[in-house]
Chains A and B, each alone.
Chain A
Amino acid sequence: MRIRAALATAVASAGVLLAGWQSGAHIAETGTATTTSLSSTASSGNTGSTGNSGTTGKSGTSSGGGNTGSTTAATYDGTQVQTRFGTVQVRVTIQDGKITEVTPLQLTDAERKSAQISSRAAPILRSEVLQAQSANVQTVGGATVTSDAYLTSLQAALDAANF
């Protein structure tokens, strides 16, 4: 039952995320990451109430309330949950008491395995992409920038540094 509850929570979170995305709510990841237990919130069924901890970044275990109004976003990492699909962990970003983003921190073992053995595209975590800072790349790729947008782009900074 716990698995089902966790999955239901994930689905609900995705719905909220979608709503947040469409309303254009955007996220500044400023909060400190604290840990809240996905399994406990799932079993007690009051996931939504964790939103009221966004102001302090403390662990979201308190009951429902409306003390939002803060504009700072906080992120919470769920605990690693064993499901029959493998180990799952999610991170939620909460702003103004609403979940604005849900990202998987850990993929199921099955997804991970397929990503490793296949040359086809597979879901990966942001941390799994080859990382680089603008200080150690020579050029920057991205969707076509307009001449105006170029001025504030990372590429413009690199070009100026190499002039």
Chain B
Amino acid sequence: MQRTSKPQRLRARTFPSMGTVVSLTVASTAPAETAVDEVESAVEVVEGIFTQLDLTFSLYRAGSEASRLNRGELALASASDTMQELYSEASEWRLATEGAFTAERPDGGLDLSGIVKAHAMREAALSLRAIGLQNWCVNAGGDVLVSGSPDPGHRTPDTSEPWLAGIVDPLNRQALLGAFPLGSMSALATSGSAERGEHIWAVGSSRPEFAQVSVAASDIVTADVLATAIVAGGTSALDRAVEGWGVEVLAVRRDGTLLSTPGFREAA
């Protein structure tokens, strides 16, 4: 962790939420003092969004709306708008992915946590734009959503350098497997079994075919849902995702070999 000659135009702040750590990085051309205020007020906004959603959807909190719903103390029809909207969004994704993505746990309970984090990132993006920030990167536990460029002001917006996201090698988490430039596809989500154990149940009872799946898309919920669906559904889910949504995919098989769409490949 060396402090290199990296120019101090990127400023990052982090906070814990939803069982992981969320990082906000802001690229600013403002003078140092202004830029610090800028990133600190921005992270406050983002943290507020995550905290509120975590309070509603956490199944680790007995008193959360999601927990009351799961215990049958609350009917979906009387639940909050956010709960109903996310439930309905998750149900649509379940149909669209032919069951590879589902918000239902094997025990029949409802678990929207697979989509809540991405939803929080989507909401954070709206708020960051609303407060006038154009060049930022949100990383929530390895899922990434960006806007603009890490080096704004140098060139015109059309030609500015895109945020470059490294992708962790699931076989060696201190190394990068590759990278993806986040341009028009500004969202990158990665699912796998490397970190939290095999938390995604494969369709049927077979072991997941992929150790890690990264999906780049123009919105973070699509990227997140499809990454989860491909880990659960294997190659056939991967092909459906690429054909149906035009996303870019980099999948690491359990033996370390790779499947990739052109977007993750070194330019020829």
Residues on A lying within 8 angstroms of B by beta carbon are 14, 17-18, 21, 27, 101-104, 115-116, 119-126, 128-147, 149-150, 152-163
Contact, CB under 8 Å: A141 / B195: no
The 6 tightest CB contacts between A and B, nearest first, are A129-B178, A142-B168, A143-B192, A132-B179, A137-B166, A162-B12
Q: In the complex, what residues of B have CB within 8 A of residue A131's CB?
A: 176, 178-179, 266
CA distance A102 to B257 in the complex (A): 9
Q: What residues of B have a CB within 8 angstroms of the CB of A145 in the complex? A: 20-21, 141-142, 195
B264 touches A129 (CB 8 A): yes
User: Looking across the interface, which residue of chain A has its beta carbon closest to that of B139?
Assistant: A139
- Shortest C-beta distance, A123 to chain B (Å), equals 6
Assembled-state Cα–Cα distance A32/B177 (Å): 21
Q: List 20 A-B contacts (CB under 8 A).
A: A119-B242, A119-B261, A120-B261, A123-B259, A129-B260, A137-B164, A139-B164, A139-B166, A140-B142, A141-B142, A143-B142, A143-B191, A144-B196, A145-B141, A147-B21, A152-B174, A153-B168, A154-B166, A158-B12, A162-B8
A139 touching B163 by the CB < 8 A rule?
yes
Bound-state CA distance A119–B196 (Å) is 31
Q: Is the CB of B264 within 8 A of A130?
A: yes
Stretch at the interface among B57-65, B103-111, B243-251: B243-251
B180 partner residues in chain A, CB cutoff 8 A:
130, 141
Contact A144-B176, Cβ < 8 Å, known A122-B259, A135-B4, A138-B164? no
**Contact between A140 and B264 (Cβ–Cβ < 8 Å)?**
no
Report B18-64 residues with CB < 8 Å from chain A CB. Answer: 19-21, 23, 25
Contact status A161-B195, CB under 8 Å: no
- Please, which residue of chain A has its CB at the minimum distance from the CB of B164? A137
B193 contacts the other chain (CB 8 A): yes
Q: Complex formed: what's the CA distance from A133 to B2 in Å?
A: 14
Interface size of B in residues (CB-CB distance below 8 Å)? 73
Question: Given known contacts A140-B168, A153-B173, A154-B168, is B196 in contact with A121 (CB within 8 Å)?
Answer: no
Count, A-B residue pairs, CB within 8 A: 203
What is the bound-complex CA distance between A145 and B19, given in angstroms?
A: 9
CB B63 to nearest CB in A, in angstroms, measures 21
Residue B239 lies at the interface, judged by CB distance under 8 Å to chain A: yes
A101 close to B256 (CB less than 8 A): yes
Provide the bound-state CA to CA distance between A161 and B3, in Å.
Answer: 6
**What is the bound-complex CA distance between A139 and B182, given in angstroms?**
11
- Contact between B260 and A122, CB atoms less than 8 A apart: yes
CB distance from B144 to the nearest CB of A (A): 5
Which of A101, A116, A132, A141 lies in contact with B190, CB distance below 8 A? A141
A121 partner residues in chain B, CB cutoff 8 A: 238-239, 242, 249, 251, 259-261
Whether A143 pairs with B265 at a CB distance below 8 angstroms is no
Which of B6, B188, B265 is the one whose CB lies under 8 Å from A129? B265
Are B137 and A128 in contact, with the CB atoms below 8 A?
Answer: no
By a CB distance below 8 angstroms, the chain A residues around B257 are: 103-104, 123
Interface contact A103-B188, CB-CB below 8 Å: no
Within 8 Å CB of B193, what residues of A?
A: 143
A23 CA to B82 CA, complexed, in Å: 45
In the complex, A104 Cα to B257 Cα: how many Å? Answer: 8
B168 touches A136 (CB 8 A): no
B72 adjacent to chain A (CB < 8 Å) = no
Residues in B neighbouring A21, C-beta threshold 8 A? 254-255
CB distance from A134 to the nearest CB of B (A): 6
Q: Does B13 lie at the interface of the complex (its beta carbon under 8 Å from any beta carbon of A)?
A: yes
Given known pairs A147-B16, A162-B12, A163-B13, the reply for A139 and B176 (CB within 8 Å) is no
